[in-house]
């Protein structure tokens, strides 16, 4: 059930976003965040990387290097919701949340459902070990997960 994405353009113009920032190298990370957040598919396109490099007067290789270094950035289109699952030992010791999600969504880690609703991403510790096992849906943390709780969360986002 892996989804094939159609490329999606940013909802706002790239240059309009760039102009919100001073053209300084130290603005690269906030710009990449903003560009990624502006697309319905939560990713940074090649055009966005190229235009950012030109705007900041740095090389495309440097912009690409930064964007590909951080796991929070994606250079591929993703689903409407990005589910990041903690695969660190404290969370995995209970039971494998990622296996449950693979089972419920019918996709493997790194893939997106065919309806482009959910992208599943493994993650290191989310910083909420006391609530293990945990996952994050678009920045919101869910802890003490059970199969039933995961099913409810998926059910809810499929109707939003």
Interface residue list for ligand FES (CB under 6 A): 86, 88, 90-91, 125-126, 128-129, 132, 134
The CB-of-123 to ligand FES minimum distance in angstroms stands at: 8
- Shortest Å, Cβ 122 to ligand FES: 11
Backbone angles phi, psi at 85, to 5 degrees: -110, 130
The CB-of-102 to ligand FES minimum distance in angstroms stands at 17
| Residue 40 DSSP code | T
Report the residue number, 97 or 118, with the smaller CB distance to ligand FES: 97
Output 82 or 91, the one with its CB closest to ligand FES: 91
Q: How does DSSP assign 76-124, residue by residue?
A: S---SEEEEEE-SHHHHTT--HHHHHHHHHT--TT-BBTTS-EEEEEES
Closer of 49 and 132 to ligand FES (Cβ): 132
CB nearer to ligand FES: pick between 88 and 114: 88
| Cβ-contact 39, 14 below 8 angstroms | no
Q: How many CB atoms lie within 10 A of CB 89?
A: 10
């Amino acid at each position: 059930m892996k989804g094939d994405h159609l490329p999606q353009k940013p909802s706002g113009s790239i240059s309009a976003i760039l102009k919100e920032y001073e053209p300084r190298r130290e603005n690269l990370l906030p710009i990449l965040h903003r560009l990624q957040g502006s697309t319905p598919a939560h990713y940074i396109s090649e055009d966005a990387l190229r235009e950012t490099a030109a705007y900041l007067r740095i090389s495309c290789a440097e912009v690409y290097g930064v964007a590909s270094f951080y796991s929070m950035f994606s250079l591929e289109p993703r689903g409407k919701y990005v589910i990041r699952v903690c695969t660190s030992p404290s969370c995995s010791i209970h039971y494998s949340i990622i296996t449950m999600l693979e089972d419920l969504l019918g996709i493997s880690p790194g893939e997106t459902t065919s309806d482009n609703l959910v992208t599943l991403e493994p993650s290191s510790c989310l910083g909420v070990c006391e609530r293990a096992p945990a996952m994050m849906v678009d920045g919101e943390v869910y802890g003490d997960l059970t199969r039933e709780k995961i099913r409810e969360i998926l059910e809810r986002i499929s109707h939003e």
